[in-house]
Amino acid sequence: MPIDLCLARLVRRDWLIDGPLSGYLTSYIESLKTRRYAQGTIGAYLRCLAHFSFWMTAEGLTIANIDLPLIERFIRHHLPACTCPAPCRSDINEVRAALHHLQTLLPVVNDETASPLTLEIERFNGYLRDICGLAPLTCSYRIQHVKAFLVGRFGNDAPEIGLLVSDDIDAFLNELASTWSPTSRKLICTSLRSYLRFHAMLGDDTRILSAALPTIANWRRRHPPEVLSEVQLEQFLRAFDQTHPVELRDYVIARFLLDLGLRADEVAHLTLDCVDWRNGIVSLCHTKSQRVQQLPLPTQTGEALGRYLRLGRPQTTNRALFSRHRAPFGVALSVDAIRNTMNRAFVRSGLADRFCNTHVLRRSMATRLQKSGVSIKEIADMLRHRDLNTARAYARVDLEHLRAVAIPWPGSKS
């Protein structure tokens, strides 16, 4: 469909043509067409873009003002109370997707135009990535936590570590206490502690602030971890229709999660070059420890993967092992997409009331190894845990064997 025809069909095309986004319309439409989006989807995204453009004009904003906070402001605050002239597109999911594609086309903000908060967060991100060597996902959530804390304390002003006091930390954590779980609050404390270490490295005295960070009580290991039984595993694997290309792909992903104990992020970054078919080895180049690691490729996993590559994988120039079968084509599956595929399988198998996401498959693999007599050290090596204590949780699941070796309580009848 010609680009001018895409715009000609829009009722509010003047909002785009005369607005601040006019210079990006051609590249935006070409980008969607390259990824094989349907004509109806392109039209819907353009209508969302037109609404955003009209709002920007009314607010006196330009392309240079577009960033994630501005987009969230439009979605969270403007759309629920929108008074723009009808018709205008206001579906939150469509608007978010349309603006996500727009973001990929915008120029990267340079240091001269970036806000003080953006520069501070970027420096902290560099510390996490280059000095601490943390995985991108870990960097991402730590940045989110720290950014929320700094915005709540300083707003749009430049953050200054010297102005922070312990009451600021207490107020931030108390605000989260009613809605966040102890595990989440513990992660937030870890993120804040990491930020304080970053400033300590820069020469700031953060000892009082670090001492103000509480230790969150969370007895997460009071019960054995939830894992799938052998019957449930068979039920789960039968939920994939391997005659359908998409479910064949999802079945192979499930096998990687279950047979090798991979994390969803590790599966998302697998490429065709990671599989050494001759030697039966899978190389993990994107791991939590930032080290290249190799694992044996089990026969059943290799057979399923070979079947998918021959019969199910779409033709694409992307080297990612698992890519999308629908628009946008040629894009590797994200971590969220992999989680969603497993959640749909749990629903089909009737197990969604007990299990969700991908980590339960990793735990199930470790539990199966433990029940078969594999040592904790070998389980830790398979899971790529540096600390044996991390893998010791799987030693508590075989309750029947523990009862067999338990000494009777003095004075009991047994």
230-400: CATH homologous superfamily?
Intergrase catalytic core (1.10.443.10)
CATH architecture type of domain 116-212? Orthogonal Bundle (1.10)
Q: What is the pLDDT of residues 167-200, one digit of tens each?
A: 999 988 888 887 788 888 888 999 999 999 999 9
| Gap between the Cα atoms of 116 and 119, Å rounded | 5
| Gap between the Cα atoms of 386 and 390, Å rounded | 8
In this structure, which amino acid lies at residue 66? I
Q: What is the pLDDT of residues 86-99, one digit of tens each?
A: 888 888 888 888 99
Q: pTM here?
A: 0.68
Task: Return the ∠ at Cα 245 (arms to 239 and 246), rounded to 5°.
Answer: 60
Residue pair 209/166 in contact by the 8 Å Cβ criterion: yes
Mean pLDDT of the chain: 85
Q: What is the pLDDT of residues 205-263, one digit of tens each?
A: 999 999 989 887 766 555 666 889 899 999 999 999 999 999 999 999 999 999 999 99
18: which 2 tokens?
Answer: 């005369």
| Model confidence at 110: pLDDT above 80 | no
**414 confidence band (pLDDT: 50, 70, 90):** low
**152 confidence band (pLDDT: 50, 70, 90):** confident
Query: Which phi and psi (to 5°) does residue 303 adopt?
Result: -65, -45
Locate the domains of the chain by residue range: 3-103, 116-212, 230-400
The pLDDT score that the predictor gives to residue 111 is: 47
Question: Which among 248, 267, 246, 245 has a CA at the least distance from the CA of 258?
Answer: 267
Q: What is the pLDDT of residues 118-128, one digit of tens each?
A: 888 889 999 99
